[in-house]
Structure 1
Amino acid sequence: MEPLNQRSTTPLERVVSQRALQMSNSFTCQICVVALFCGLCIVSLILAILGNFQFAHFSMLNLSFNSDLNTTITHCSFKPKQIERLTDLKSDQDERVSLLYSAWSCVLTEPTTERSKCLWKLGISESNLPNAPHLENCKAKSLLHNRLDTRIVNDSFPPWTSRKGLLNMHPLAVSEGTHPPWIAGSDEENYPLTRKVQRDIWVHQHPSNCSDPNVKFLLADWERLPGFGIGAQIAGMCGLLAIAINEGRVLVTNFYNRADHDGCSGPSRSSWNCYFFAETSVECRQRALELVKIEDALSKGILTTKENYTSKHIWAGPTPRIWGDPWNYLQPTTDINGSLVASHRKMDRRWWRAQAVRYLMRFPTEYTCNLLNEERHAAFGKMAAKMVLKSLIGEWPKVNSPLIFLFGIED
């Protein structure tokens, strides 16, 4: 009798179990099983070796590039010779660009003695310094603007011209066809009647004889309240210029708080002409300042000040109509609820403010020109240096010695 805990087997199961036992005892079967396990082990070992080699190779390449081509691994350099040469050329080019940029920075310094010392420290002579395409010759440009903004000896008009070309070679009297030199482009490229309006404003603000009893003046300070920014100050002065033209007066501006600093020295201190050419001639300014001390001038209306007009008259007064309604020819540019409005009551004011601002800022002074040079140099100086160095023929800079600055002698 079989034990209770022993599971009964079928005849088929007993036959299979006996056959499996016989096969396991077979020597051939054992050899096959061992070979199979050995093959699996060899394949695993080969895959592991290949994986470690690829990982190590990738790590070495990554280290060689991330170390700026200067790190060696196990005393081996991975930098190709071409990359070394390109790196040296780039470093040399960057040094030349920085040197030229610094030399141009020296040119911006004043006075001339300080400029020469600055260049001497860099080992560069000013005669060997390439011209900076992004910088203007402020002194020469200021002299030219002064000539174009001043009547000549016989009280005739400045040497403006009615066509493009050298202004100094075509001194023509101001006529209907004469173009103000501060306006670029044709009439079609500007606001309607811009060139005529600019010409007429200049003529109005520069009478031939400021001492003539028939010449009247409007003397006004710029707005100086803390809440008024430069935009509000300019808008207010545009209104005062409109009043002066409507009343046949010469506008003379006086105190300008944004010019009350050490950068604006001498007569330009606290004056608009620290930044831009004055709105009128020196003679008319002196005459207005003389009249302000005379009581009869104020009582007789020869001179008025800003206090003679209300704020509404200054800020929203009538636009000069001596040129008609040129703003009616403007294309509609005001968008209201998706539609362009062809005409509205503020179009004339916008047109006039554009004309007034253009006149008040017609010519920058030498001080403003220098400020613009500094800003352009800070923004575009290195870019300009790269362009100039690419265009130069031969090497720059040449090897100079301090004797150049003492005697002007070059090897």
Structure 2
Amino acid sequence: MGSSFPCQICVVGFLCGVCLTSLFLAALTSFGTFQLGPISFSSTMLFSVTHSECDFKLKQAEQLSESNSNNEGDEDERVSLLYSAWNAELTKSKTGGGGNYLMKDGVNVPDIPNAPHLENCKAKTKLYGRLDQRTGNESFPPWTSWKGFLDTHPVASSKGTYPPWIAGSDEENYPMTRKVQRDIWIHQHPVDCRDPNVKFLVADWERLPGFGIGAQIAGMCGLLAIAISEGRVLVANYYNRADHDGCKASSRSSWSCYFFPETSQECRQRAFELMKSEEARNNGIVTIKESYTSKHIWAGPTPRKWGAPWSYLQPTTDVNGSLLVSHRKMDRRWWRAQAVRYLMRFPTEYTCNLLNEARHAAFGTIAAKMVIESLAGGWPKVIVNYCLRIIENPTQDNISSIL
């Protein structure tokens, strides 16, 4: 460097310039930052977080795997985890969310065992929809002699088949149940709802405060009996127990929120069109509940389209210790059973989800314990590849799924 002061100054200035240039270039080529809410994290920080998070998950996995392999450990913890995984799947089926919860617990979603007490509501509703409408130009639904997904077993429909919502033979049900259910469906689903010969009965469900669900159903059973006796298609209108936010869109305030509607959408539209026509009302093409007396609705005669349903049996009813072969309420009870079975023939996806939630709350822990005990290879399996992917590619979306 030499001993002169000017030379020393030049050398020091040169070295400082090199240092500053190096720092500037390093800043330009450094990792970027991600914004997570109001806080910014550098990529290096995120890598550190994800690495430690996944290390924690993998350590949990090793502990669970060791417990599984030794048939030791806390079985209650695994049962609780499986119960929570099923619960998250239920939430996901209702809202479309819940997947992150499973990943945060180290559970690989495809590896979750099937829940024996839960139904696939989307698939079931799709199947019911096919079974409740005519196919193409066919005049009859695609009912067969077996239950299942009919798309995988194409077969020519026959009018000799019976409704799929009735289980068992004639001897295992009320007299003539399968035929009656088939005939009610045909009556309520005419081929052409705009045929001038098709008449309607449009009625709201009972809504007085003193009427419970049982009374409401009994009243609608009476209205269905009147409709069949008069050759009308029953169209059920306002239903107060479906007047809430859980029933979406057109199912709001309608029986169709809980069960498949009593008639086709085409017939409903046609009936409401005729309700606006004074001529149609005056000519009796469409009637309403107020067209009939309370006695006719609640204690009217049973439709005689099917004759005397109990005639080929020898029924007995125990009344105060005496066996009665026949009494006036027998036919009414038989008809109400038929009407209720038809009105509740297929649950909607909303009802299916409600039933799944109820079954899971009642039997979920028991089912989880039975499944855990039956798995030979142990459970759960951990998403090692998922953690490795996050470590190799610490993006904002990947980080947010485990934070």
The TM-score range, normalised by the shorter chain, is 0.7 to 0.9
Moved over 4 A (4+): 88-91, 163-166, 404-407
Q: Which of 143, 157, 161 pairs up with 1:173?
A: 157
Say if 2:200 and 2:234, in contact at 8 Å, map to a contact too.
yes
1:106 and 2:88 correspond: yes
Q: Which of 296, 306, 321 pairs up with 1:323?
A: 306
Deviation for aligned residue 1:112: 6.1
1:233-252 alpha-carbon deviations (Å, 9 max, x no partner): 00000000000000000000
Q: 1:405 to 1:208 in 2, by over 3 A?
A: farther
- What RMSD over aligned residues (CA atoms) do the two structures have, in Å? 2.2
2:254 corresponding residue in structure 1: 271
2:289 corresponding residue in structure 1: 306
Superposed counterparts of 1:59-208, under 5 Å: 92-110=74-92, 113-162=96-145, 167-168=150-151, 169-175=153-159, 177-208=160-191
Distance in 2, matches of 1:269 and 1:211, equals 26
Distance in 1, matches of 2:115 and 2:150, equals 24
Larger radius of gyration: 1
Deviation for aligned residue 1:331: 4.8
Q: Which of 364, 379, 394 pairs up with 1:381?
A: 364
1:364 corresponding residue in structure 2: 347
Deviation for aligned residue 1:172: 3.4
Three-state SS of the structure 1 residue aligned to 2:341 is helix
Identity rate, percent: 72
Three-state SS of the structure 2 residue aligned to 1:324 is coil
Deviation for aligned residue 1:332: 3.4
Kindly indicate whether structure 1 or structure 2 has the higher relative contact order, using CA contacts under 8 Å at least 6 residues apart.
2
Distance in 1, matches of 2:388 and 2:258, equals 34
1:239 and 2:257 correspond: no
Distance in 2, matches of 1:269 and 1:155, equals 31
1:12 corresponding residue in structure 2: none
Deviation for aligned residue 1:118: 2.2
Q: Which of 214, 218, 224 pairs up with 2:197?
A: 214
**Structure 1 runs not aligned, ≥5 long:** 1-84
Q: Which amino acid aligns with 1:348?
A: D
1:3 corresponding residue in structure 2: none
1:353-388 alpha-carbon deviations (Å, 9 max, x no partner): 000000000000000000000000011101111111
Deviation for aligned residue 1:121: 2.7
Say if 1:332 and 1:343, in contact at 8 Å, map to a contact too.
yes
Say if 1:182 and 1:362, in contact at 8 Å, map to a contact too.
yes
Q: 1:320 to 1:406 in 2, by over 3 A?
A: farther
Q: 1:113 to 1:141 in 2, by over 3 A?
A: closer
1:31-71 alpha-carbon deviations (Å, 9 max, x no partner): xxxxxxxxxxxxxxxxxxxxxxxxxxxxxxxxxxxxxxxxx
Say if 2:127 and 2:149, in contact at 8 Å, map to a contact too.
no
**TM-score when scaled to structure 2?**
0.76
Paired residues in the alignment total 321
**Structure 2 runs not aligned, ≥5 long:** 1-66, 393-403
